[in-house]
Structure 1
Amino acid sequence: MDSVLQLGPLVLPWALIILLVGWQLGHWVHERLARRSGLTPGPHAWRLTLAALLAARLGFVLQYRAEYGAAPWSVLDIRDGGWQPWAGLAAALLYVGLLWLRRSPWRQPALAGVAVFATIWLAGLALLQAMAPQRPTELPDWRGVALDARSVALPELRGQSVVINLWASWCPPCRREMPVLLQASRAHPEVRFLWINQGEPPETALRYASQQGLPAADVLLDTASQLGRDLDSKALPTTLFYDAQGRLQAVRAGELSAATLAQHLGRITASGTARQASK
């Protein structure tokens, strides 16, 4: 199963769909048990949901407070996918615990709703992981031509961490995340950043890359979108993170913020540090 559901131009992550289904069923169980107990519809389901969402976002923001501190407004832009799910679940359980301490008549419906949600969410993520397509776990055997006319073969980049960004100039999220990637490439010279254009004519990619100030040696052309197919990538932008051994450590389908990019960069740099320490 792909990590995203594509409906024409609309791309939805399956993880988000599972979360929404779990919430809907948990809310339904909560309300049904409340009615059975003779309770009129109350605000607890929405308050609990809001508390969990705020805690999940706040947990992630605090973890990457330096990145969000540089652009405070980006805290509100949840398109970056920056959540700390265990913080959200802890907040939901804390809310239910307070209802029990107060002997609220809503405590059992609230606990049942959280239990149903958690079960569906965890089971759905496990199923998604088990059915995930087998992407190549190492740098793919692909060669492209950069805008400076040099040939770049991905397998030859082993020895340093590599970030591959699949993009197109017509893609709004690709354009929004471009400055974040460019800034990170300057801040992390030990990591090789590659922007691989998907399916556009060379002149289009060259014009946009020049406008953005992207390094010509790191912008590659894939006019047939062959690499995207090899990597089973159906959404743009998609960013792949490889450690210094050429092993895939993380994939992000969708827009990156400075914080979510730092999160994934930490995986490949930590992987390299751990292997160096073990030698």
Structure 2
Amino acid sequence: MTDRYAVFGQPIGHSKSPRIHQFFAGQTGQQLSYTAEEVAPEQFVGSVKAFFAQGGLGLNCTVPLKELAFAFADTKTIRAQRAKAVNTLKLEADGSVLGDNTDGCGLVTDLLDNHAFNLKGSRILLLGAGGASRGIIAPLLGYSPQTVVIANRTVEKAVELAAEFQDIGVISGCGYADLGGQAFDIILNATSASLSGELPPLPQGVLATQGVCYDLAYGDQPTAFVRWGRENGAFYSLDGLGMLVEQAAAAFYLWRGVRPSTHALIELLNAERGMS
């Protein structure tokens, strides 16, 4: 019987995850199936229980299910506990369910290994104080940046989120209007607004010379934030496709004990959408 895996989300039709995991399976000689299934939040618990009861071994959970997956997991990795969100569930041998969050490690692997960024001593601006931000802060702080500043439309949310991580690094929260006069080496967009063509109100000069822009979202066309980075002289302005592939590779390793190579797949997916 083929080992079964899936991604749950809403919406899920655009997901590249089935293709990514089938690529990894072929590359590493693993026999498995991986499907994408539309699951609404109110269906989540029943759907997960049914999936595992019917022989499923592991799940990815995307928006808006990551907090529900966190609540569902019997045990959580340290990085999932920090993120308070889970994107990967694994059925353990004893029948319990382990929850992990591979988003942050996926991001830093893409930044460090695929693009040779240096996070140590860098000034990082993180746009947005929602779940996407929460999942990446601890991994970023683990590489000793000079500072991480979270900017958000609701200032209180940014300040509260920063306070949760002040034990592991230099981090603060503010509103967009408070960014004037500051310049950042790396600006990470963790808002969903970029996909709808909207952007946070960023002041002139917020991107340092030779600075880098990175949108956690991705699309077949450059996102609004990727375009903003290019228009404002970013040395690189990238989207989150590499993060998507790297977080999937970390989940695949958790499930299968085999670490796939990601470079060929990232090149293939970029070539297909006409991005180098």
Smaller-chain TM-score bracket = under 0.3
Which structure is richer in relative contact order (CA contacts within 8 A, separation 6 or more)?
A: 1
Structure having the higher Rg: 1
Normalized against structure 1, the TM-score is what? 0.27
More helix by share: 1
Q: Give the TM-score normalised by structure 2.
A: 0.27
